[in-house]
Chain A
Amino acid sequence: NAGVTQTPKFQVLKTGQSMTLQCAQDMNHEYMSWYRQDPGMGLRLIHYSVGAGITDQGEVPNGYNVSRSTTEDFPLRLLSAAPSQTSVYFCASSFTPGTGGVDTQYFGPGTRLTVL
């Protein structure tokens, strides 16, 4: 198993540009999520999905879009990049909480994004 994979590892954007961060998992997990990590602030939830076709907002959703067309993939789209979106982005997956599976989230290696 590859676990959770993310691409790209590094990205530099100019203000106003758009891009998609890719995330995939091969563990057949229903639950997937996106976090951003900023110095001194820990991980903050952006969006999450409890299954294909179902997504919802986390703590800091503004400026980001998600969709979930398959169980395996959960891309994160930046619509119009801003310097405040400079951060490290992590994707994670687990069995859907409360369904009897293990709640532990498994994280990808991260994407380091800089917006100039």
Chain B
Amino acid sequence: EDQVTQSPEALRLQEGESSSLNCSYTVSGLRGLFWYRQDPGKGPEFLFTLYSAGEEKEKERLKATLTKKESFLHITAPKPEDSATYLCAVLSTGGFKTIFGAGTRLFVKA
């Protein structure tokens, strides 16, 4: 059974304090791993898709990396506007069901 576990559940940072969010996954065969950002009261917003181990993608202060068992979302010098819930999800090969983790709530204080 496909599973996604995100840690920590919540993370509090000072502005400029870099850190990483973890997404551990179990899947029969990985078609893609996704990162989304979700602001309160809104739908998830797409950030990255990673397809194979060793792949990395960057967008502004965010960088996503992928290994065969986990993915990290690195946040460099975060700002208060980076405060949100970050969701990780996996899609297995040959399947149509995307499985989401419970998310990490990030709080960045000025």
Give chain A's interface residues, CB within 8 Å of chain B: 4, 31, 33, 35, 40-45, 48, 50, 56, 58-59, 90, 92, 96-98, 102-110
Q: A103-B32, A109-B42 are in contact. Are A98 and B102 (CB under 8 A)?
A: no
| Assembled-state Cα–Cα distance A92/B102 (Å) | 18
Give chain B's interface residues, CB within 8 Å of chain A: 4, 31-32, 34, 36, 41-46, 49, 87, 89, 91, 93-103
Q: A43-B87, A90-B43, A105-B46 are in contact. Are A48 and B31 (CB under 8 A)?
A: no
Other contacts beyond A107-B43, A110-B42: 4, CB < 8 A: A40-B102, A42-B103, A103-B31, A106-B46
Contact B49–A103 (Cβ < 8 Å): yes
Contact B98–A45 (Cβ < 8 Å): yes
Hey, which chain B residues are within 8 Å of A106, CB to CB? 46
Q: A103-B31, A109-B42 are in contact. Are A98 and B94 (CB under 8 A)?
A: yes
Max chain A Cβ within 10 angstroms of own Cβ: one of B49, B93, B102: B102
Contact A42–B49 (Cβ < 8 Å): no
Contact A97–B43 (Cβ < 8 Å): no
Chain B nearest CB: distance from A106 CB in Å? 7
Chain B nearest CB: distance from A46 CB in Å? 11
Hey, which chain B residues are within 8 Å of A40, CB to CB? 102
Chain B nearest CB: distance from A6 CB in Å? 8
Q: A40-B102, A43-B87, A102-B49 are in contact. Are A107 and B97 (CB under 8 A)?
A: no
